[in-house]
Amino acid sequence: MLELRELYQELILDHNKNPRNYHALEHADHEAEGFNPLCGDRIKVFLQMDGDKIKEIGFQGTGCAISKASTSMMTAAVKGKTRQETEEIFNQFHLLVAGKKIETFDQNLLGKLAVFSGVREFPVRVKCATLAWHTLRAALKGEEGKTVSTEIISTEWEAG
Amino acid sequence: MDLKTGGKTKVKSGFDVEKIRKDFPVLSQKIYGKLLVYLDNAATTQKPACVIQALERFYTSENANIHRGIYYLSQQATHSYEGVRTKVRQFLNAREDREIIFVRGTTEAINLVAQTYGKAFLKKDDEILITTMEHHSNIVPWQMLCDEIGTKLRVVPIHDSGELILEEFEKLLNPKTKFISVVHISNTLGTINPVRKIIEKAHARNIPVLIDGAQSVAHLPVDLQALDCDFYAFSGHKMFGPTGVGVLYGKAKWLEAMPPYQGGGDMISSVSFEKTRYNKIPYKFEAGTPNIAGVIGLGSAIDYLNGIGLDSIHQYENELLSYANQALSQIKDLRVIGQAKEKAGIISFVLGDIHAHDIGTILDHEAIAIRAGHHCTMPLMDRYQVPATARASFAFYNTRAEIDALARAIQKVKEVFS
pLDDT digits (tens, 9 = 90+) for B251-272: 999 999 999 999 988 888 888 8
The distance in angstroms from the start CA to the end CA of chain A is 51
CA dihedral B216, B219, B221, B222 (to 10 degrees): 10
Q: In angstroms, rounded to a whole number, what is the distance separating the alpha carbons of residues A29 and A27?
A: 6
Residue B1 has pLDDT above 50, yes or no: no
Q: In angstroms, rounded to a whole number, what is the distance separating the alpha carbons of residues A7 and A16?
A: 13
| Best CA proximity match to A38, nearest among B373, B168, B416 | B373
* Interface test with chain B among A12, A13, A14, A64, by most B beta carbons within 10 Å: A64
Mean pLDDT for the stretch of residues B308-316: 96
User: DSSP string spanning B102-152?
Assistant: EESSHHHHHHHHHHHHHHHH--TT-EEEEETT--GGGTHHHHHHHHHH--E
Kindly state whether residue A149 falls inside one of the protein's structural domains: no
Kindly state whether residue A154 falls inside one of the protein's structural domains: no
Inter-chain Cβ pairs, chain A and chain B, closer than 8 A: 63
Residues of chain B in contact with residue A157, where contact means CB-CB under 8 angstroms, are 140, 143-144, 147
The total domain count for chain A is 1
Residues B259, B119: contact at Cβ < 8 Å? yes
| pLDDT confidence bin for B6, thresholds 50/70/90 | very low
Q: How far is A50 from chain B (nearest CA, A)?
A: 35
Kindly state whether residue A157 falls inside one of the protein's structural domains: no
CATH 3.40.640.10 residue window(s) in chain B: 52-307
Residue B364 has pLDDT above 80, yes or no: yes
Residue B5 has pLDDT above 80, yes or no: no
Cα nearest neighbour of A123 on chain B: B361
Q: Hey, are the CB atoms on B147 and A41 less than 8 Å from each other?
A: no
Q: Judge whether A1 is closer than 8 Å to chain B, CB to CB.
A: yes
Q: Give how far Cα A40 sits from Cα of A125, A126, B48, B239, B291, Å.
A: 13, 15, 34, 28, 35
* Interface test with chain B among A2, A3, A4, A11, by most B beta carbons within 10 Å: A4
Q: How far is B299 from chain A (nearest CA, A)?
A: 33
pLDDT at B4: 41
CATH no. for B3-35+309-416: 3.90.1150.10
Label the pairing between strands B368-369 and B346-351.
unpaired
Q: Judge whether A145 is closer than 8 Å to chain B, CB to CB.
A: no
Q: Judge whether A63 is closer than 8 Å to chain B, CB to CB.
A: yes
pLDDT at A102: 64
Q: Judge whether B350 is closer than 8 Å to chain A, CB to CB.
A: no
Residues of chain B in contact with residue A128, where contact means CB-CB under 8 angstroms, are 357
Q: How far is B374 from chain A (nearest CA, A)?
A: 6
Q: Rounded to two decimals, what is the model's pTM?
A: 0.91
Higher-confidence residue of B305 and B271: namely B305
Residues of chain B with pLDDT > 90, as a percent, come to 90
Q: How far is A39 from chain B (nearest CA, A)?
A: 5
Q: Hey, are the CB atoms on A40 and B381 less than 8 Å from each other?
A: yes
The fold of B52-307 is: Aspartate Aminotransferase; domain 2 (3.40.640)
Residues of chain B with pLDDT > 70, as a percent, come to 97
Q: How far is A65 from chain B (nearest CA, A)?
A: 7
Q: Hey, are the CB atoms on A66 and B358 less than 8 Å from each other?
A: yes
Q: Hey, are the CB atoms on B356 and A128 less than 8 Å from each other?
A: no
Q: Hey, are the CB atoms on B387 and A66 less than 8 Å from each other?
A: no
Q: Judge whether B146 is closer than 8 Å to chain A, CB to CB.
A: yes
Higher-confidence residue of B378 and B6: namely B378
Kindly state whether residue A155 falls inside one of the protein's structural domains: no
Q: Hey, are the CB atoms on A157 and B140 less than 8 Å from each other?
A: yes
Q: How far is A80 from chain B (nearest CA, A)?
A: 31
Kindly state whether residue A104 falls inside one of the protein's structural domains: yes
- Distant-in-sequence, close-in-space partners of B329: CB < 8 Å, separation ≥ 6: B336
Q: Judge whether B43 is closer than 8 Å to chain A, CB to CB.
A: no
pLDDT at B8: 45
**Pick from B144, B153, B365: CB nearest A4:** B365
pLDDT at A4: 83
Q: Hey, are the CB atoms on B387 and A41 less than 8 Å from each other?
A: yes
Q: In angstroms, rounded to a whole number, what is the distance separating the alpha carbons of residues B17 and B319?
A: 13
Residues of chain B in contact with residue A159, where contact means CB-CB under 8 angstroms, are 153
Q: What is the CATH number of the domain that holds A99?
A: 3.90.1010.10
Q: In angstroms, rounded to a whole number, what is the distance separating the alpha carbons of residues B46 and B33?
A: 20
3-state secondary structure of B3: helix
Q: In angstroms, rounded to a whole number, what is the distance separating the alpha carbons of residues B188 and B186?
A: 5
Give me chain B's average pLDDT, please.
Answer: 95
**Pick from A13, A39, A128: CB nearest B417:** A13
The answer for A 36-55 residues in CB contact with B (under 8 A) is 37-42
Neighbouring-strand partners of residue B130: B155
Cα nearest neighbour of B32 on chain A: A1
| pLDDT confidence bin for B3, thresholds 50/70/90 | very low
CATH 3.90.1150.10 residue window(s) in chain B: 3-35+309-416
- Neighbour tally for A151: CB within 10 Å: 13
> Which domain, by its residues, includes A28?
4-143
- Distant-in-sequence, close-in-space partners of B261: CB < 8 Å, separation ≥ 6: B112, B115, B116, B285, B287
ipTM of this predicted structure: 0.84
pLDDT at B322: 98
In terms of residues, how long is chain A?
160
pLDDT at B345: 98
| Best CA proximity match to B358, nearest among A35, A64, A71 | A64
| Best CA proximity match to A56, nearest among A25, A88, A23 | A25
Q: Hey, are the CB atoms on B357 and A4 less than 8 Å from each other?
A: no
Residues of chain A in contact with residue B388, where contact means CB-CB under 8 angstroms, are 39-40
| Best CA proximity match to A92, nearest among A112, A68, A75, A65 | A112
Q: Give how far Cα B7 sits from Cα of B19, B325, B331, B332, Å.
A: 14, 15, 19, 23
Kindly state whether residue A150 falls inside one of the protein's structural domains: no
Q: How far is A46 from chain B (nearest CA, A)?
A: 21
Q: Judge whether A160 is closer than 8 Å to chain B, CB to CB.
A: yes
Residues B91, B121: contact at Cβ < 8 Å? no
pLDDT at B13: 59
Q: In a structure prediction context, what are the per-residue pLDDT tens digits for chain A, which is 160 residues long?
A: 467 888 999 999 999 999 999 999 999 999 999 998 887 889 999 999 999 999 999 999 999 999 999 999 999 999 999 999 999 999 999 999 987 766 677 888 899 999 999 898 888 889 999 999 999 999 999 877 778 888 854 444 544 4
Alpha-helical regions (H) of B204-355: 224-227, 252-257, 292-308, 310-329
pLDDT at B100: 98
Kindly state whether residue A156 falls inside one of the protein's structural domains: no
Query: Active-site residue B50, yes or no?
Result: no
Higher-confidence residue of B239 and A106: namely B239
pLDDT at B268: 85
* Interface test with chain A among B152, B358, B385, by most A beta carbons within 10 Å: B358
pLDDT at A98: 85
Residues of chain B in contact with residue A69, where contact means CB-CB under 8 angstroms, are none
pLDDT at B163: 98
Residues B173, B200: contact at Cβ < 8 Å? no
| pLDDT confidence bin for B12, thresholds 50/70/90 | low
Q: In angstroms, rounded to a whole number, what is the distance separating the alpha carbons of residues A5 and A26?
A: 37
Phi, psi of B233 (to 5 degrees): -125, 140
Q: Judge whether A7 is closer than 8 Å to chain B, CB to CB.
A: yes
**Pick from B153, B378, B417: CB nearest A37:** B378
The 3 state secondary structure assigned to B192-209 is ECCHHHHHHHHHCCCCCE
